[in-house]
Amino acid sequence: MAVSPPRGTAAAGDTPAAAGGSGAIALELHGVDKHFGGTRALDGASLTVRSGKVHALLGGNGSGKSTTIKILAGVYSADSGSLSIFGQEHPLSSYTSTVAQHAGLRFVHQDLGLFEELSIEENFALDAGYPRLPGGGIHWKALHERVARLLAEYELEVDPRVPIRALRPSDRTMVAIARALQDQEGTDRILVLDEPTATLALHESELLLEKVRRRADRGQTVVIVSHRLQEVLSVADDFTIFRDGRVVGVLTDAQPTEDELVEIMAGGAVSALRPTGSTTHSTGEPMLQIDGLYGGPLRGVDLTVHRGEIVGVAGLVGSGRSSLLKAIFGAVTPTSGTFTLAGEPYAPRHIDQAMEAGVAMVPEDRGRDGVFADLAVAENLAASVLRESWIRGWMSRSRERRTALALIDRFRIKVGGPDALFSSMSGGNQQKAIIARWLQRSPGLLLLDEPTQGVDVMSRSDIYALIRDAARDGCAVLVASSDMSELHALADRIVFLRSGRIGAEVSAVGLESDDLVRMVLKDPTLSITLPDFDTKRARP
Amino acid sequence: MTTTSPETSRALKRRPLSPLRLLESYALLILTALVFLFFSVNPTSANTFPTIANLNVILGSQAVVSLIALAALFPLVSGYFDFSLGATAAAAQVMSAGLMANAGAPLWAAVVVPILVGAAVGFVNGLFVTVFHMSPFVTTLGMATLIAGSIQWYTGGQTIIIGIDPAITRFGSSRMAGLPTVVFVVLGVAVIAWYFLTHTPYGRSLYAVGSNASSARLVGIRVERNVWWSFVVAGAIAGLAGVMQLSRLGSATADSGNGLLFPALAAVFLGATAIKPGFFNVVGTIIGAVFVSISVSGLTLSGASGWASPVFNGVALLAAVGLSTYLGRRKKRG
């Protein structure tokens, strides 16, 4: 086992370790830098993928592994660096998705891009074209035979004529893989799997990875990105580990343990954002009590949040973080369970009732669920207080603008003025404005879903300060985040959602951020509760 | 509270619009004035167009179009089409006439019942669109066809002219302060619509839904309920438009109402290019309706044939939709 030292960017590039092994290098990325504005997403990153092997890319959120994949896919263009695929140099300055396709890279993303209602064979044909009859019509027989042959090759015992939605989840992913590789001749293809198991239940992902492993044993080169370490360990030969935009470890033909990987991944994880002198403002007086909450992915959540306390909700994708917040906000109705808010029974059937009770929520997807992009900043801020601003049968525009100005001042939002379009602001300022929209209501309970997604570092610390101020004023705060350093910086107490219930609970004081990363990554159950095969099928 | 910096106190005053933006906001109004001038001096229409009699005809005929345009405004602000408004108005007209001529109903009932039936049509449209999530486009188009067919069945293709209370036709041809009285009905409805759309939480919520329904839901707006109401309000105003049409014409005939709907839609979309560019608004809608009426009347009096009016309405509708889409997109880009 060859572990290159941390900061091993150079080492990763010029160790020809692979050359000694089973032969050729399929892909080599060297010294890649990528900046987004002022932030450096990749710093001299390198990647060497051996032909016919499964290569895993590992790292936490924002470590640079997704950026690397996107550069390989031609979605982002690298600032500098070099790339060769099957021995051929591809200048990164003119590298596009078309070049990637021609060079032999095939991507299967978490969103498989399949047409659920169409048959398997049509899904293949829409990608590669329909075989034609001499008259111009579709040669269904030829298509059917070709797809049946491909499916057999990929160990899929299904009729090519059944629709995608009739397949079990792992088979859908396998169909997407087969489709991506359908034009393969020989072994000149590199299959890149980006979080292929993120939405699969445990046994489904095992089935899938076994098949992937068998493809690799027959010579298929695979690059796989996954958060689930145990799975990766079972399937990968080589590992490249990212942290803070750098490659911090390269393992070739290795059999590392989970702890070793976590150690390299967490390393000296960032704790710079931890506000100095942070003390809990919790009064110990319960603000929100949840008892036996069921609904969607939630399978019996019990939780108490106190006044002035910031509670972090951690968990993998699909663990029910967002569903929990939405249920509290009345955006989805739980099947069973009770809430107690400030000592009173609380069962919101609509969001306006939750707002009336003093609950506020900043949604996860700002662009989709938060903003009115074509309206002015003042109108966006006023959206949460429409009824309160209706005074004597009138909505005063000048008062609305005065309120907006006060909020812009108080929350230090950088914007041209209250009349500026909301979309004219940067992501960080948009997020501050959304938080301001809710904090002007002086909520008793503030729910935040991924509060700093797509927010730059400076705005991030501003937003943390805003949240802490709200807690100091007695607001109970529940933050759901996939970013462990964020929960570490912000929360007084962190609960881990696993299989739809609270699996563990830790006090953030005294813990380091990488301890949290370990706790999430080492999720012992690994089971993800998402709409299963059967429930999906019931859909019309 | 922090002290306001000089920068913010400057921002507190509404920044004056740049000359170009100002021109954009009032372009439709200026264009309307220019069209008016053109037909007033144009030799073929100069004798007949700028007369008091003709202006009263223009104002009277634009009244019904304006009412339907105001009706269409409510669902459109929240992003929904209602194609059944022309047919609803036509049905209200026939129903009002029929109630008086065939059922011997009193005048008040002949005015109130068609408005309530219009609201009921809107209620059904809203039910289909918001509760059953049916496509508003096809739903209201189907409703329009259904209503037009029902009118055919009820009238048997005949025109109802006898038995209509003369009071209603007297109202339709009466004047107030030198203007047709129906113009004041339109102004009244326009003021109420303006108040509701700009100065109530309900109206503001419709604009929010039109901007981003998902965001609107997450700030506590009852999206479905409010959109549903917008269809009911639209139906009621269309019912009123039908009664006004009866009062002006003195008769009711089997008609699909499309002749009213399309100029009205042109007016709403033209209106979205003016006053508050990129957004549907009441004042712009009224200007749009006047523009359409003046242009059609001018064309007719210049000796253009019968095809001129639908061709003009079509072109105006296309140009208006194009322009308002362009302005809306530019806004989103910022």
Cβ within 8 Å of B, A 314-353:
329, 331, 350-352
pLDDT at res. A511: 63
DSSP A417-433: -TTSBGGGS-HHHHHHH
Is A443's Cβ below 8 Å from some Cβ in B? no
Query: Residue B16 falls within a domain, yes or no?
Result: no
Return the residue of A nearest to B330 by Cα. Answer: A374
Query: Residue B59 falls within a domain, yes or no?
Result: yes
- Are β-strands A476-480 and A445-449 bridged in parallel, bridged antiparallel, or unpaired? parallel
List alpha helices for B2-43, DSSP H.
6-12, 19-41
How confident is the model over B6-27, as a mean pLDDT?
62
In this prediction the ipTM stands at 0.84
Is A393's Cβ below 8 Å from some Cβ in B? yes
Are the C-beta atoms of residues B283 and B275 closer than 8 Å to each other? yes
> Could you report the per-residue pLDDT of A352-397, keeping only the tens digit for each?
999 999 999 999 888 889 999 888 899 999 999 988 888 888 888 8
Lowest mean pLDDT among A236-240, B12-16, B74-78: B12-16
Lowest mean pLDDT among A222-236, A517-531, B279-293, B320-334: A517-531
Interface contact flag, B220 A331, Cβ < 8 Å: no
pLDDT at res. A418: 87
Q: What is the CA radius of gyration of chain B?
A: 21
Query: Residue B17 falls within a domain, yes or no?
Result: no
Residues of B in contact with A405 (CB under 8 A): 4, 8, 11-12
What does the longest C-alpha to C-alpha distance in chain A come to? Answer: 82
Return the residue of B nearest to A375 by Cα. Answer: B211
Nearest CA-CA distance, residue B3 and chain A, Å: 9
Query: Residue B312 falls within a domain, yes or no?
Result: yes
Interface contact flag, A423 B334, Cβ < 8 Å: yes
Query: Residue B10 falls within a domain, yes or no?
Result: no
Report the C-alpha gap between A511 and A496 in whole angstroms.
15
Helix (H, G, I), strand (E, B) or coil at A30: strand
pLDDT at res. B125: 96
Among A369, A390, A401, select the one facing B200 at the smallest CB separation.
A390
pLDDT at res. A255: 83
How confident is the model over B197-213, as a mean pLDDT?
93
Among A363, A389, A408, select the one facing B218 at the smallest CB separation.
A363
Nearest CA-CA distance, residue B104 and chain A, Å: 41
Give the closest residue to B297 by CA, choosing from B73, B51, B90: B51
Range(s) of the domain holding residue B273 = 23-333
The b-or-e profile of B206-230 (16+ CB within 10 A means b, else e) is bbbbbbbbebbbbbbbbbbebbbbb
How confident is the model over A266-284, as a mean pLDDT?
52
Q: What sign does the CA torsion over B35, B37, B38, B40 have?
A: positive
Residues of A in contact with B334 (CB under 8 A): 421, 423-424
User: Chain B interface residues facing chain A, Cβ-Cβ under 8 Å?
Assistant: 1-2, 4-5, 8, 11-12, 14-15, 198-201, 204-205, 207-208, 211-212, 214-222, 278, 328, 331-334
Interface contact flag, B332 A423, Cβ < 8 Å: yes
Task: Decide which of A508 and A236 is more confident.
Answer: A236
pLDDT above 80 (res A240): yes
pLDDT above 60 (res B2): no
Query: Residue B6 falls within a domain, yes or no?
Result: no
Return the residue of B nearest to A421 by Cα. Answer: B334
Report the C-alpha gap between B27 and B24 in whole angstroms.
5
> Could you report the per-residue pLDDT of A165-201, keeping only the tens digit for each?
888 878 888 888 888 888 766 557 888 988 887 667 6
Lowest mean pLDDT among A281-285, A528-532, B113-117, B312-316: A528-532
Nearest CA-CA distance, residue B96 and chain A, Å: 34
Instruction: Spell out where A218-285 has E strands.
Output: 221-225, 238-243, 246-252
Best to test chain B binding among A332, A349, A375 (most B CBs inside 10 Å): A375
pLDDT above 50 (res A464): yes
Query: Residue B3 falls within a domain, yes or no?
Result: no
pLDDT at res. B65: 92
Query: Residue B144 falls within a domain, yes or no?
Result: yes
Cβ within 8 Å of B, A 423-442:
423-424, 437
Instruction: Round the average pLDDT of chain B to a whole number and report it.
Output: 87
Contacts of A504 (CB under 8 A, 6+ apart): A495, A496, A498, A519
Give the closest residue to B295 by CA, choosing from B6, B39, B13: B39
Interface contact flag, B212 A373, Cβ < 8 Å: yes
pLDDT above 70 (res A535): no
Interface contact flag, B200 A395, Cβ < 8 Å: yes
Among A352, A354, A418, select the one facing B11 at the smallest CB separation.
A418
Lowest mean pLDDT among A23-27, A28-32, A67-71, A277-281: A277-281
Interface contact flag, B328 A408, Cβ < 8 Å: no
Q: How confident is the model at residue A508 (pLDDT cuts 50, 70, 90)?
A: low
Interface contact flag, A424 B220, Cβ < 8 Å: no
Report the C-alpha gap between A400 and A419 in whole angstroms.
11
Domains and CATH numbers, chain A: 2-266 (3.40.50.300), 269-358+444-540 (3.40.50.300), 372-440 (no CATH)
Interface contact flag, B334 A424, Cβ < 8 Å: yes
Are the C-beta atoms of residues A56 and A239 closer than 8 Å to each other? yes
Return the residue of B nearest to A329 by Cα. Answer: B218
CATH number (domain holding residue B183): 1.10.3470
Contacts 24+ apart (CB under 8 A), A458-464: A458/A428, A459/A426, A459/A427, A459/A428, A459/A429, A459/A431, A459/A432, A460/A273, A460/A428, A460/A486, A461/A273, A461/A275, A462/A412, A462/A428, A462/A432, A463/A428, A463/A431, A463/A432, A463/A435, A464/A273, A464/A275, A464/A489, A464/A490
Report the C-alpha gap between A370 and A150 in whole angstroms.
44
Looking at the structure of chain B, the number of domains it has is: 1
Return the residue of A nearest to B17 by Cα. Answer: A419
Among A393, A401, A410, select the one facing B12 at the smallest CB separation.
A401
> Could you report the per-residue pLDDT of B227-278, keeping only the tens digit for each?
999 999 999 999 999 999 999 988 888 888 888 898 899 999 998 888 888 8
